[in-house]
Structure 1
Amino acid sequence: MKSLTANEAKTKFGNMLINVQSEPVEIVKNGTSVAVVISSKEYKKIEALKMEIVKSRFANIDPDDLVEGGDFFDEIDSGKYD
């Protein structure tokens, strides 16, 4: 992964946008990593993977374990899960 200082990222923004199409770019400020810039294509892949993980966790849910959302929040407010 390439790394740029925050100042380099600002002054070379156009080049950074080109670079993120092939690999992520880390932004470092005062010696600390503060961000990683990725392409929109890579971001969409990550979001799709997260959705697949969520779907897989709900695939085998027992219908008897489901409750109405309002009822669940009422139970939380009443302290049932404290």
Structure 2
Amino acid sequence: MRTLTANEAKTHFGDMLLKAQRNPIQINKNGKPVAVIISADEYRDIEALKLQVLQSRAAQARADIATGNLVDGDTFFDELEAGQHD
């Protein structure tokens, strides 16, 4: 992934937008990453994937409820926050 400073991104905004159509561009400010510029198509793909994951988790939750495979709320949210709940 190409990296630009915030000043470079501002100075070369048009060029950055063109390059972001091909590859993500990371923007750093004071040496720290603050943003990633991606194409609109890539953003839509990411949002669609997030929705698919959420729908899959909802379907699994419904199946778990139907079969009595239940956990208490605290455990569920702890696992979800840790990225462990499928």
TM tier, smaller: 0.7 to 0.9
Partner of 1:22, secondary structure, is coil
Task: Give runs of ≥4 in structure 1 deviating > 6 Å.
Answer: none
Q: What's the counterpart of residue 30 of structure 1?
A: 30
Output the CA distance in 1 between the equivalents of 2:51 and 2:25: 24
Q: What's the counterpart of residue 73 of structure 1?
A: none
CA drift at 1:14: 0.2
Q: What's the counterpart of residue 68 of structure 1?
A: none
Output the CA distance in 1 between the equivalents of 2:58 and 2:4: 40
CA drift at 1:26: 0.3
Query: 1:1-82 alignment to 2 at 5 Å?
Result: 1-60=1-60, 61=62, 62=65
Q: Which runs of 5+ in 2 are unaligned?
A: 69-86
CA drift at 1:20: 0.4
CA drift at 1:50: 0.3
Count of aligned pairs between the two proteins: 65
Normalising by structure 2, report the TM-score: 0.70
Partner AA of 1:40 in structure 2? A
Normalising by structure 1, report the TM-score: 0.73
Question: Which has more helix, going by share of residues?
Answer: 2
* Structure with greater Cα Rg: 1
Structural RMSD (CA)? 1.6
CA drift at 1:59: 1.2
